[in-house]
């Protein structure tokens, strides 16, 4: 049996904490973790038993694989600290978990013979516990030097994850897709929540009413794919309902409805009769709602 490399995690926030605990559970030795504040280090070490440090340079000497889970703005800072510390060694692997940046940002570490790369989990982490629950089974976007890609791929597989080898030049597009699938879904649900709360006691009650619809939709997508799971007035070619929606919606939500309606038209493809497609296309045109401007309609 091949011995797994020791891991050091620099920056034990939500993701770093989850990675440390899950990697340990998968048979990796977590040789050190770091945090910015003494209280955080002490609390995490007490909770997990992992050796914890404030000193990134010292911690980095203890691992075969160094994973930087710090915020994006701190990546250059921590990298400069490690390079200037002059303690990195040949054969080590350094990875970061940024979604928008490729592994090449760690290139200065190569002067020590360190292979560099990235492994970004395609997942959202609201807190430490949900991070631990959600990380296993997630896809990881991986790129970098050959040795770094191999190490990241093995770790991702051991965590039960799927591997996405995203070309470095496509990393921003990848991150935009992740943003749409996560952040914008949250924003869309908040819009629906606000609309529905007009007839409920509060937004929380509205959200609870919406969640079965959302989970059912996600289940359909998982089983059938996005195109086959599409329902609603647009895919039915129901221009009358679309028109009624546009007339009834508060003005601040019209542009969102129209933009998503146009994307829905494309997804529906030839399932819509051409005549109905043209009518709906015109309804969703941005200049078709000018008469609503200034009417003062809004959601509480």
Residue 244: which CATH number? 1.10.1040
Secondary structure of residue 214 in the 3-state scheme: helix
Q: How far apart are CA 149 and CA 13, in angstroms?
A: 23
Could you tell me if 178 and 161 lie in one domain? no
In the structure, what pLDDT confidence band is assigned to residue 296 with cuts at 50, 70 and 90?
Answer: very low
Beta partners for 141? 120, 164
Instruction: Give the domain range for residue 50.
Output: 7-165
Q: What are phi and psi of 235, to 5 degrees?
A: -65, -20
Could you tell me if 156 and 13 lie in one domain? yes
User: Model confidence over 49-84: pLDDT tens digits?
Assistant: 889 999 999 999 999 999 999 999 999 999 999 999
Q: What is the DSSP letter of 253?
A: G
Question: pLDDT value at position 37?
Answer: 83
| 195 within domain boundaries | yes
Confidence check: pLDDT of 297 > 70: no
Could you tell me if 37 and 160 lie in one domain? yes
Could you tell me if 122 and 244 lie in one domain? no
Indicate the residue among 165, 194, 222 that finishes a domain: 165
User: Model confidence over 208-264: pLDDT tens digits?
Assistant: 999 999 999 999 999 999 999 999 999 999 999 999 999 999 999 999 999 999 999
Q: Among the listed ranges 81-85, 168-172, 201-205, which one has the minimum average pLDDT value? A: 201-205
Secondary structure of residue 84 in the 3-state scheme: helix
CATH number (domain holding residue 92): 3.40.50.720
Domain count, the chain: 2
Q: What are phi and psi of 283, to 5 degrees?
A: -65, -35
Could you tell me if 270 and 182 lie in one domain? yes
DSSP H or E segment with residue 65: strand 65-68
Could you tell me if 279 and 216 lie in one domain? yes
| 206 within domain boundaries | yes
Q: How far is CA 264 from the centre of its chain?
A: 23
> For the whole model, what pTM was predicted?
0.86
Q: How far apart are CA 203 and CA 197, in angstroms?
A: 5
Q: How far apart are CA 144 and CA 256, in angstroms?
A: 37
Question: pLDDT value at position 72?
Answer: 93
- If you average pLDDT over residues 142-170, what whole number do you get? 94
First CA to last CA across the chain, in angstroms? 62
Q: How far is CA 241 from the centre of its chain?
A: 34
Could you tell me if 259 and 210 lie in one domain? yes
Could you tell me if 68 and 194 lie in one domain? no
Confidence check: pLDDT of 132 > 50: yes
β-pair type (7-10, 162-165): unpaired
Could you tell me if 136 and 191 lie in one domain? no
What six digits make up the tokens of 147? 């040795």
| 2 within domain boundaries | no
Confidence check: pLDDT of 289 > 80: no
Alpha-carbon distances of 241 from 55, 212, 232, 245, rounded to whole Å:
61, 23, 10, 6
Measuring CA to CA, which residue among 163, 194, 143 is closest to residue 299? 194
Could you tell me if 120 and 248 lie in one domain? no
Find out whether 52 and 33 touch, Cβ atoms under 8 Å: yes
Could you tell me if 48 and 127 lie in one domain? yes
Find out whether 260 and 245 touch, Cβ atoms under 8 Å: no
Q: What is the DSSP letter of 10?
A: E
Could you tell me if 64 and 160 lie in one domain? yes
């Amino acid at each position: 049996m091949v011995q797994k490399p020791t891991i050091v995690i620099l920056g034990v926030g939500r993701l770093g904490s989850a990675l440390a605990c899950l990697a340990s559970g998968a048979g990796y030795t977590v040789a050190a973790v770091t945090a910015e504040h003494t209280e955080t280090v002490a609390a995490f070490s007490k909770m997990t038993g992992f050796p914890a440090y404030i000193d990134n340079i010292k911690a980095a000497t203890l691992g075969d694989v160094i994973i930087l889970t710090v915020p994006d703005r701190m990546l250059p800072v921590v990298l400069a600290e490690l390079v200037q510390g002059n303690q990195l060694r040949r054969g080590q692997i350094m990875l970061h978990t940024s979604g928008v940046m490729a592994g090449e940002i760690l290139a200065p570490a190569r002067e020590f013979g360190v292979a560099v790369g990235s492994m970004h989990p395609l997942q959202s982490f609201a807190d430490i516990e949900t991070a631990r629950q959600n990380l296993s089974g997630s896809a990881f976007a991986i790129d970098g030097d050959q040795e770094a890609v191999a190490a990241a791929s093995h770790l991702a597989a051991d965590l039960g994850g799927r591997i996405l080898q995203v070309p470095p030049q496509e990393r921003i597009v990848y991150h935009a897709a992740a943003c749409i699938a996560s952040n914008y879904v949250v924003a869309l649900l908040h819009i629906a929540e606000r609309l529905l709360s007009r007839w409920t006691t509060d937004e929380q009650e509205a959200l609870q009413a919406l969640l079965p619809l959302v989970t059912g939709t996600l289940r359909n997508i998982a089983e059938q794919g996005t195109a086959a799971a599409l329902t609603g007035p647009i895919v039915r070619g129901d221009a009358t309902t679309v028109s009624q929606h546009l007339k009834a919606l508060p003005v601040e939500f019209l542009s969102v409805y129209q933009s998503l309606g146009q994307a829905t038209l494309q997804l529906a493809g030839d399932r819509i009769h051409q005549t109905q497609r043209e009518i709906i296309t015109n309804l969703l045109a941005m200049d078709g709602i000018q008469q609503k401007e200034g009417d003062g309609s809004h959601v509480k």
